[in-house]
Structure 1
Amino acid sequence: MTTTTAPVTLHPRTGRADAMLATLLERRRPGHSLEAPFYLSEDIFQADLEHIFRRHWIFVAVAPQLPEPGDFITVDIGADSVLIVRDDDMQLRAFHNVCRHRGSRLCDEHQGSLGNIVCPYHQWTYDLEGKLIHADHMGETFLREQHHLHKVHLRDLEGLIFICLADEPPADFEEVAARMRPYLAPHKLSECKVAAQVEILEQGNWKLTMENNRECYHCVGNHPELTISLYEHGFGAQPGPQNAEGIAQFEQIVRDSHARWEAMGLPSARIEELDTRVTGFRTQRLPLDRAGESQTMNTEVACRKLLADFTDKSLGGLSFWTQPNSWHHFMSDHVVSFSVIPLSAGRTMVRTTWCVHKDAVEGVDYTVENLTAVWNATNDQDRRLVEFSQAGVASSAYQPGPYSPFTEGLVEAFCVWYVDRMRVSLTASR
């Protein structure tokens, strides 16, 4: 479904601020972390909203959050609030959450259900396709068809919902979707239900949240729950005589697993395009350690009713990362998705959603505690690490440090993508 929206200026910045940003982007040192203003400056935060979050595809929700006609969610990106609804034909639609009368916000709750969209101020009423169907006292010459809700671009990629606030969104999303559908479709996320959703607030810049996600250099010693199910050499490591045998064994396990999964119709090969396209993404299916079934405390499935029509519990973990704000893990028994939403230069919201088969019964097939244990612990640990980083970059002693070429290559890919997209957008807006 393709819809359009008029561009809206979020925050007028001075030419001086743009000049500062351009200078910082130009002198970014490859292979090193960003300079402190990228994490601390409110001007750069506003530029992030304008050039990144308003001009690219942003992951915001999973389709099981809106299972029935009239179900809605709202998503705030800076000053913009977006209303996503499922209409009577089961199509997902997105609109600016703003009444066309005098600008009142239409829905203030994050999630709910409605028959029509009714403005709480003067009761202007819109149907689930965004058409104005009722407006009292506006006179005989008033044209309702000129006052429908402003639409927002939306794409449903096998149950993953992306929106774009730009007037002309990046066209390469269609190619990304075509390449990812064979990976995602077998898990049938749209036939799942939400078993749990948790939001945490990190006192740190959104880029630190994403950089932390893009590496597992920090995992040993910080994530004891997560690393139970992960192979040590899957994190990346500097090769040498001391670990050559372990790396070779892991690589053989990956090859054998890929061959088995590919024969089952489950694409598994790595696609690495985080910094080579506008809609950057990465995917790969990797084996899990020990019981090898799921990202749980005992590495066994968290839900006895498997997704789709799977009969094999050991399907590894399919990871799907998108720039600028998401990562996802698809397993045989559940899917866990993460959406990062910037709130200010030093505050970020991370929303985690766990989905299981729609017919799975809580307390019989799964428990929420077991399903969420690994990532609830990991998210809290990552929150602390991001907050340590935010405090550190604010110090006068901070200087951009070097990334490990063996374990932090994907952090570099994120920074390359971010810097490139900011440069292109900043140049185009002059």
Structure 2
Amino acid sequence: MHHMEKKLKVSKEIQSLIAERLPGHSLDAPFYLSPEIFDLDIREIFSKHWIHVAVEPDIPEPGDYVTVEIGLNSIVVVRDDDMAVRAYHNVCRHRGARLCSEHKGSVGNLVCPYHQWTYNIGGELIYAEHMGEKFDRSKHSLKSVHVENLAGLIFICLAEQPPQDFSVMRDAMAPYLLPHGLKDCKIAKQVDLIEEGNWKLTMENNRECYHCATNHPELTASLFEFGFGYQSAPGNAEQIAEFNRLAAERCGEWERGGLPSAEIERLDELVTGFRTQRLPLDRAGESQTLDGKVASGKLLGEFERADLGGLSFWTQPNSWHHFMSDHIVSFSVLPLSAERTLVRTKWLVHKDAREGIDYQLDNLTAVWNATNDQDKRLVELSQQGARSSAYQPGPYSPFTEGLVEKFCTWYIGRLSAGLAEQSAGSPVTMLRRID
């Protein structure tokens, strides 16, 4: 057993909350507040599932690396000499010092700053002074972490046996994503935002557009909120009918042109849940910008036309992405504590696009910088409400919050499966919190 773990039964109260979750309603307050449930989330969700952590353009060259924190674990994702993507625990095999302290960098080898034990980027220990002639370096390689690359989106899994259905997502999504040429992009901008709220509130907020019309003027300048669920009423029936007509027409056009667009929805039926759909955009119909026109004049992949709508891709438990003809916006969500969450946003353009000539950074980032700030406020208001003695789970809209319900159904299902596995096998252990 890891020295940072201790035997600790999941309390009866939490087991009951999981077993008795009211379908079609928001979660009970402890799911957003409890340090014990946060530890459970790290163990059963973030340590056992495929977690989106990076994109290929984070590490374009051999020796380029990024680090990511998942609970108490630090992982280094690095490009090796053969251009493959590898991932390791960011822990020296000597006395455990962290190897890479920066979020991003480039190395020839991974050198421990403490006693200079040195590992090549294949993870092998190649230098360890003063260890004697009988010391076997081959037994002290870095501990590897499972890594998968889906059309340039990088996922890691900390489990010994990762979920086997990543291939289902890959087979379905590669034809949708590959035409956008993510591997041939560069990161124009990265913004890390800390939300003072539970990670599940961040994800729930992302999975609906019920709040969009009144909270996201910049986003809804180009995004039709009708595409994400709406209740038809006399006041909007004409608009919804027109959107549905446009969506069917454009989707058929894109499909005939070899660009997959139809909805695939597998959010709550797979361990590695996901959903995708390509939808038309408003105004110029080209990109998620204030005027609906492309933000970059250098189109992605081999695209020759700009009006290709917006392809949305959601993954359980921690990411969403928007792929357009000219740029990609990629989001990953990482829990920091029961009431703090990191939202990491990356804007990607073609690697040959020139800032100030092909694109203006302010224009490229305007919509999602504004939207992220607005969502941060909404998540924090929800977190404050969950702390109140008056809070109780409220009903989701069957018209606009179906994907929120699918997220919560998936989440509760994965916790239940984890607890069942524990009770059938090894003693329940939980990560000890360090405040």
Amino acid at match of 2:115: H
Tell me the residue number matched to 2:390. 397
- The alignment status of 1:234 with 2:227, answered yes or no, reads yes
SS in 2 for 1:278: coil
SS in 1 for 2:213: coil
Distance (Å, rounded) in 2 between the aligned partners of 1:196 and 1:28 = 40
Tell me the residue number matched to 1:414. 407
Distance (Å, rounded) in 2 between the aligned partners of 1:338 and 1:203 = 17
Amino acid at match of 2:186: K
- The alignment status of 1:274 with 2:267, answered yes or no, reads yes
SS in 1 for 2:205: helix
- The alignment status of 1:168 with 2:186, answered yes or no, reads no
Tell me the residue number matched to 1:3. none
SS in 2 for 1:72: strand
Tell me the residue number matched to 2:32. 39
**Alignment deviations for residues 159-216 of structure 1 (CA, whole Å, 9 cap, x no partner):** 0000000000000001110110000010010000110000000000000000000001
Tell me the residue number matched to 1:143. 136
Contact 1:62-1:160 at 8 Å conserved across structures: yes
- The alignment status of 1:120 with 2:113, answered yes or no, reads yes
Identity %: 64
Aligned counterparts, 1:234-313, within 5 A: 234-313=227-306
Amino acid at match of 2:41: D
- The alignment status of 1:104 with 2:104, answered yes or no, reads no
Distance (Å, rounded) in 2 between the aligned partners of 1:11 and 1:140 = 34
Contact 2:296-2:364 at 8 Å conserved across structures: yes
Amino acid at match of 2:400: T
Amino acid at match of 2:69: D
Amino acid at match of 2:375: D
1:134–1:309: structure 2 CA closer, same or farther, 3 Å change rule? Answer: same
Tell me the residue number matched to 1:56. 49
Contact 1:33-1:402 at 8 Å conserved across structures: yes
Tell me the residue number matched to 2:176. 183
1:271–1:9: structure 2 CA closer, same or farther, 3 Å change rule? Answer: farther
**Shift of residue 244, structure 1, vs aligned partner:** 2.6
Tell me the residue number matched to 2:345. 352
Amino acid at match of 1:121: Y
- Which one of the candidate residues 181, 194, 215 is aligned to 1:222? 215
Contact 1:11-1:46 at 8 Å conserved across structures: no
**Hey, which bits of structure 1, 4+ residues long, moved more than 3 A?**
7-13
Distance (Å, rounded) in 1 between the aligned partners of 2:31 and 2:140 = 39
Tell me the residue number matched to 1:377. 370
Contact 1:10-1:78 at 8 Å conserved across structures: no
Tell me the residue number matched to 2:88. 95
Distance (Å, rounded) in 1 between the aligned partners of 2:60 and 2:3 = 33
SS in 2 for 1:221: helix
1:369–1:26: structure 2 CA closer, same or farther, 3 Å change rule? Answer: same
**Shift of residue 14, structure 1, vs aligned partner:** 2.7
Structure 2 residues without counterparts, runs of 5 or longer? 424-435
- Which one of the candidate residues 172, 184, 190 is aligned to 1:197? 190
**Shift of residue 220, structure 1, vs aligned partner:** 1.1
Tell me the residue number matched to 1:364. 357
1:9–1:359: structure 2 CA closer, same or farther, 3 Å change rule? Answer: farther
**Shift of residue 11, structure 1, vs aligned partner:** 4.7
SS in 2 for 1:293: coil
**Shift of residue 10, structure 1, vs aligned partner:** 5.9
Distance (Å, rounded) in 2 between the aligned partners of 1:247 and 1:140 = 75
**Alignment deviations for residues 248-273 of structure 1 (CA, whole Å, 9 cap, x no partner):** 21111011001110111110000011
**Shift of residue 245, structure 1, vs aligned partner:** 2.4
Distance (Å, rounded) in 2 between the aligned partners of 1:100 and 1:108 = 16
**Shift of residue 78, structure 1, vs aligned partner:** 0.6
1:224–1:8: structure 2 CA closer, same or farther, 3 Å change rule? Answer: farther
**Shift of residue 423, structure 1, vs aligned partner:** 0.2
Amino acid at match of 2:299: L
SS in 2 for 1:428: helix
Tell me the residue number matched to 2:429. none
Tell me the residue number matched to 1:340. 333
Tell me the residue number matched to 1:4. none
**Shift of residue 239, structure 1, vs aligned partner:** 1.9
Structure 1 residues without counterparts, runs of 5 or longer? 1-6
**Shift of residue 302, structure 1, vs aligned partner:** 0.4
SS in 2 for 1:45: helix
| TM-align CA RMSD | 1.1
- Which one of the candidate residues 49, 57, 62 is aligned to 1:69? 62
SS in 1 for 2:214: coil
Contact 2:212-2:225 at 8 Å conserved across structures: no
Distance (Å, rounded) in 2 between the aligned partners of 1:13 and 1:210 = 30
**Shift of residue 246, structure 1, vs aligned partner:** 2.1
SS in 1 for 2:278: strand
Count of aligned positions: 423
**Shift of residue 8, structure 1, vs aligned partner:** 5.2
1:166–1:202: structure 2 CA closer, same or farther, 3 Å change rule? Answer: same
**Alignment deviations for residues 302-332 of structure 1 (CA, whole Å, 9 cap, x no partner):** 0000001111100000000000000000000
